[in-house]
Structure 1
């Protein structure tokens, strides 16, 4: 158990939009299509405006949002969600040709202590070493979704082998709504801040809207139990701020 207090996302200090440019060439690593727009769409748009290179790595195949669809079998769901991701990146000013995919199983992204996870971490390590980005964006390490936690593990395993690891910023998706007190970042382990994304908030909203299969009414209309983002969840990402966390040194 943590002895320190959990961070209050809405009380974190604010950094100006201009801060984004100081992060330099950046890689955003996302468990699923839509995490890039929800968690850090504003930052990605600000980086693009500042002419900083941005790459995106998609970890899972995204197929489990509507697992019972007949109209969209797994291969079609994967293609649809990847196309939505490419459209969202274009809205944010990020070239879709800078998208890399690991194609790990949605809902079962392996951790780095498994053979599949170790192979994925090595693939990610090779990619990061090749491009030499100065900043990495990945989900908060205890974001309450198993794929988000596994993605964080894979990123850390990949970075551990780099001689000069880049700056690691953790973004928040599900911790806005589903986090238990122990899931939240605490003052003894992380520092946090909010980035003002007001100048690009409309672009972020358009990028979220590009994920049509994840919004009601979904274009995948033959799986009533399929996933869509709730209005309450979306409201967190209509704010003019994004939350970022860094490990406390």
Structure 2
């Protein structure tokens, strides 16, 4: 397998041809737009099929809301997820919604839900005939992101011909400790992808997650989560950062 970074200077259509059918795995609604919205839009511009998996139910961004119950928060966030996928051109295939608990995504076979989620992921990737899977960086400093990476890793290990794996960055921009960053032992190659041709779509997709950007939707939880301007600035530039796994 040739490193994807060798192709970065080529046209977006060539990059899309290289990646083929692609599935993005998002721990929470908004990670697909933040981490790889530009690449998803470029793939669709080039006519490649894309599909999405939402791992958690997204309910814990505003756990103290009384106006919105947990099921109502889940419904809002899933609707935002679908809207963002539509903007990115990735809504032709019904997404897989695993519905695992936000903040408590299982990260080992000993935890409830792990084995079933791995089986669902594998079946979905095989059904989509995925040539590439986009997954959070394995040590992205959020427990659900790390757990998602482990779920995907387990699913790929169970596949006779696993797809190419590209790992995208979300929380490492803000919270990474030195030990969270890639090392030679990780067997990955990092690169920046020019997404200038899709930056407008990416920004629209991020904005589609209205509950996560000011002024928000769940306004009765003063301590709830909103993406800060400083955090959003990391995703306003005309590039995205990926790590390519050179081996499973």
Mark the CA change 1:64 to 1:168 in structure 2 (over 3 Å): closer, same or farther: same
Q: Which residue of the other structure, out of 40, 46, 67, is the alignment partner of 1:44?
A: 40
Write the distance in 2 (CA, Å) between the matches of 1:248 and 1:164.
14
Shift of 1:209: 0.3
Greater alpha carbon shift after TM alignment, 175-184 vs 18-27: 18-27
Report the Cα offset of residue 185 of structure 1. 1.2
Q: CA deviation at 1:116?
A: 1.3
1:208 paired residue number: 206
Q: Which of 191, 194, 210 pairs up with 1:193? A: 191
CA distance in 2, matches of 1:137, 1:196: 16
**TM-score normalised according to structure 2 size:** 0.92
User: Which residue is 1:135 aligned to?
Assistant: 132
**Contact 1:14 / 1:193 at 8 angstroms: preserved in 2?**
no
Q: Deviations over 1:39-70 (max 9, x none)?
A: 00000000011111101000000000000001
Q: Which residue of 2 aligns with 1:121?
A: 118
* Deviation by residue 1:189-214 (Cα, 9 ceiling, x = unmatched): 22111110001101100000000000
Higher mean alpha-carbon deviation, 135-144 vs 118-127, is at 118-127
Q: Please provide the CA RMSD for this pair.
A: 1.5
Q: Which residue of 2 aligns with 1:8?
A: none
Cα deviation 1:53-90 (Å, max 9, x = unaligned): 10100000000000000111100100000000111111
1:151 alignment partner, SS class: helix
Return the match for 1:111 from 103, 107, 114.
107
Task: Choose from 28, 31, 35 the match for 1:35.
Answer: 31
In the superposition, the TM-score normalised over structure 1's length comes to 0.92
Match of 2:166 among 164, 169, 179: 169
* CA 133–109 in structure 1, closer or farther in 2 if over 3 Å, else same: same
Q: How many residues align?
A: 238
CA contact (8 A) 1:13 1:194 kept: no
8 Å contact kept, 2:16–2:48? no
Give the secondary-structure state (helix, strand or coil) at the position aligned to 1:177.
helix
Task: Indicate if the aligned counterparts of 2:96 and 2:124 stay in contact, CA closer than 8 A.
Answer: no
**From 73, 76, 91, the counterpart of 1:77:** 73
* Partner-residue secondary structure (3-state), 1:222: coil
CA distance in structure 2 between the partners assigned to 1:96 and 1:230 by the alignment:
31
Task: Find 1:223's aligned residue among 221, 235, 240.
Answer: 221
- Are the equivalent residues in 2 in contact too, given 1:54–1:98 (CA < 8 A)? no
Flag structure 2 segments of 5+ consecutive residues without an equivalent.
none
Which of residues 55, 58, 64 in structure 2 aligns to 1:62?
Answer: 58
The answer to whether the 8 Å contact 1:86/1:96 transfers is no
Structure 1 residue runs without a partner (length 5+): 1-11
